[in-house]
Amino acid sequence: MTCPNPLDWGALVDYWAGDLDAAATDVVEDHLFGCPDCTAVAARVAAVTESLRAALPPVVSRERVEQLRARGARVRENDFLPGERREVVFLRDADLLIHRLGGLDLTHADRVDFRIAAESTGEVLASVDRVPFDPAEGAVLVACQRHYASLPADTVISLAVHTPSAPPRTATYTILHRFE
């Protein structure tokens, strides 16, 4: 690097994460506008932070879905009931496919655990305890993203609903994915 006073890596991370105050942001931006070496380093930091910012967990809240819609994401939703087995198509004109796993009584639930496995092999693809859920909606929202096309297309999702005074109840949904 030929910059005589390069920006600190941590400052660039904080800048791209939005963690700097206005004065520090101005200092970083002024430097980046005049320094091609630091701008190149900042681009590498931005690639990582923007990828992380765009990443979604497998289960999301209704609030998060609506935030994505408000930002222009093309979101398609489909509804599933426990025990249902159905094919869904992730169309080219969609950025995100939300599987609304409903038919659940979540009014007294204190937690819901999520597990997704390949139907054909039984391989567990992901397992997450304490996923977001909306008791009033009676559903868990699973965010299917386009890069999931590389995963097995035959998935079985199990939700374990935990209530304080009863054993967990389990619901399963079989979702066969086709990406266009």
pLDDT in tens, 166-177: 999 999 999 999
- Tens digits of residue pLDDT in 58-95: 999 999 999 999 989 999 999 999 999 999 999 999 99
pLDDT (0 to 100) of residue 109: 96
- In the chain, ranges of CATH 2.60.40.10 domains: 59-179
pTM of the model: 0.74
Cα separation, 90 vs 96, whole angstroms? 8
pLDDT computed for residue 73 by the predictor: 92
Which of the four pLDDT bands, split at 50, 70 and 90, describes residue 127? very high
pLDDT digits (tens, 9 = 90+) for 18-55: 889 999 999 999 999 989 998 988 888 877 777 666 67
Question: How many other C-beta atoms are found inside a 10 Å radius of the C-beta of residue 9?
Answer: 12
Angle between helices 36-54 and 22-34 (to 10 degrees): 130
User: In CATH, what number does 59-179 get?
Assistant: 2.60.40.10
